[in-house]
Amino acid sequence: MTLARENLRDATPVAADRAARFAAEGLGKAFSGVPVLADVSFTLRAGEVLALLGENGAGKSTLSALIAGLLRPDGGTMRWEGRPYAPASPGEAMAAGIGLIHQEMRLLPDLSIAENVFAGRLPMRGGRVDRALMNQRARAQLQRLGLDVAPTQLVRRLRVAAQQQVEIAKALTQNARLLILDEPTAALGGAESERLFAQIEQLRGEGVSFLYISHRLEEIARIADRVIVLRDGALVARHDTARVPVSTLLRDMVGRSIERIFPPLAPPAAREVLRVEALCAARGAFRDIGFAVHAGEVLGIAGIVGAGRSELVRAIYGADRIASGRLLLEGKPQHIAGPRDAIRAGIVLVPEDRKGQGVLLDQSLARNLTLGNLDRLAPDGWLRPARLRRFAAALIARLGVKGRPEQAARALSGGNQQKMVIARWLARAPKLFILDEPTRGIDVGARAAIYHLIADLAGAGMAVIIVSSELEEVLGLSHRILVLSRGRQMGILDRAEADSVAVMRLATG
């Protein structure tokens, strides 16, 4: 767990690479003063596949956004085909020959494949769109990728994999010579991934370069020539071959960075609070999940983006439907049809998206805090304003939320908003407390306060489940860790045997 921070930047300095087609030198980017990318330098040659690795939030997406012209760097320079390169927009980047294929497709679903491929630059003849030419050129491009679909087909009807191919075809018709693929296989099945790899092989033979972003380490050795690793916005490792042991890559990705102090956890009680048996999601986000959580225990749920972590806890809370499986609370089977049932049974959730799911931004703290407690505060349905005020003021004081009861929630910092969402449920003394991404978007100082709150919940005898994209957080705060990958339960690790490498190995399996 305690890995010294390697600083490979000095060990292998960027040589003046004359063969480089693309070079980044000292790229940096900060959002509202918080650096998310610092001093990143690397090169990429013609026909080369460079893998870009890193944990969630390491800065991969920011880096690709800088290269593709979606963001502008605060510091550093880029060179492209021998000339300085500073795209002001994605359009400029595309015109220069650099295309970004997003994780989520950004196609127009109700237009045809050909119309999407040529969106914004439809071939014209005599003031009208030359459909014959457009379809013919789109078909040629699709065939180059080995796709046998009609260019007139609506994109809405295509599978995700095919939509991705349309994105690639679109970039290729614009003569892209560098393609940035952001998690291209995240939504693909095995055969579809194979086809993508074959296409990458073919295109690199034609001189196209790739920046390949992925979590799936086994893919890297197959298709990449070289590997760079980002961690906390810094380039921490550079491997000139893709034949690097997976364990080395994992250590590069997760190596302990910012020193964090997690509160000590008391051992859990033997009493079982929640038991989940063979739980399957209605929409296939996860299947066959089974575990138990005990009183005073913190169970962490780890996994990469898209593994089904949030979907699992939302299903336990009744926010999403389940197809099959059982939930037992203190040994009794529960039928939970919605969050209302869950709350009554003693299950509460601090949701993943604070602003969209947790907080009424334009309403007062008092209203936010009494939300979800009106059944207790007004058992006969009649609100007593003085009682509501006292209730809110007491919670604000108890958790040290920096704000007044009548203040709008929007005015609070992320950390204080999050405390407020946690506080909302405290008064109910729930049996099971679920927190999904409890520290997302919260600055480091406020995190410690949230960590202590979580430890206190367990200390008070509640069963706690936390979901976090930050591995360190899951490791530091949990008694046991359940690891998900592509909706499957890969295993449950005890605190003693869990380290970041072990968890990542399961999560990327």
- Between 299 and 328, how does the x/- string for binding to another protein read (CB under 8 A)? ------------------x-x---------
Using CB under 8 A as the binding rule, the residues of this chain from 406 to 425 that contact another protein are: 424
Residue 338 engages another protein in binding (rule: CB under 8 A): yes
Contacts 24+ apart (CB under 8 A), 283-289: 283/311, 283/320, 283/321, 284/487, 285/311, 285/312, 285/320, 285/487, 286/311, 286/312, 286/315, 286/484, 286/487, 286/488, 286/489, 287/487, 287/488, 288/488, 288/489, 289/325, 289/484, 289/489
222/389 with CB nearer another protein: 389
Interior CA angle at 325 toward 320 and 329, to 5°?
Answer: 85
Exactly one of 129, 198, 269, 360 binds another protein (CB under 8 A); that residue is 360
Exactly one of 159, 340, 402, 404 binds another protein (CB under 8 A); that residue is 340
Query: 473: closest CA among 5, 61, 57, 52?
Result: 57
Exactly one of 160, 361, 399, 502 binds another protein (CB under 8 A); that residue is 361
67/465 with CB nearer another protein: 465
- Between 227 and 266, how does the x/- string for binding to another protein read (CB under 8 A)? ----------------------------------------
Sign of CA dihedral 310, 316, 321, 322: positive
Query: 356: closest CA among 443, 421, 287?
Result: 421
Query: 98: closest CA among 24, 150, 6?
Result: 24
β-pair partners for 289: 279
Q: How far is CA 252 from CA 91, 100, 207, 239, 304, in A?
A: 34, 25, 30, 11, 16
- How many chain residues bind another protein (CB under 8 A)? 32
Residue 356 engages another protein in binding (rule: CB under 8 A): yes
Residue 467 engages another protein in binding (rule: CB under 8 A): no
β pairing state of 83-84 and 75-80: antiparallel
Residues in the chain: 509
Alpha-helix runs per DSSP H in 123-189: 131-144, 160-173
Stretch that binds another protein, among 69-77, 175-183, 303-311, 375-383 (CB under 8 A): 375-383
140/360 with CB nearer another protein: 360
Query: 175: closest CA among 94, 114, 115?
Result: 94
Q: 157: helix, coil or strand? A: helix
Tokens of 378: 């007004």
Residue 441 engages another protein in binding (rule: CB under 8 A): no
Residue 427 engages another protein in binding (rule: CB under 8 A): no
Residue 382 engages another protein in binding (rule: CB under 8 A): yes
250/313 with CB nearer another protein: 313
144/389 with CB nearer another protein: 389
32/382 with CB nearer another protein: 382
Exactly one of 268, 358, 438, 491 binds another protein (CB under 8 A); that residue is 358
Query: How far apart are CB 327 and another protein at their closest, in Å?
Result: 17
Q: Which residues bind another protein (CB under 8 A)?
A: 317, 319, 338-340, 342-344, 349, 351, 356-363, 367, 370-372, 374-375, 377-378, 381-383, 385-386, 424
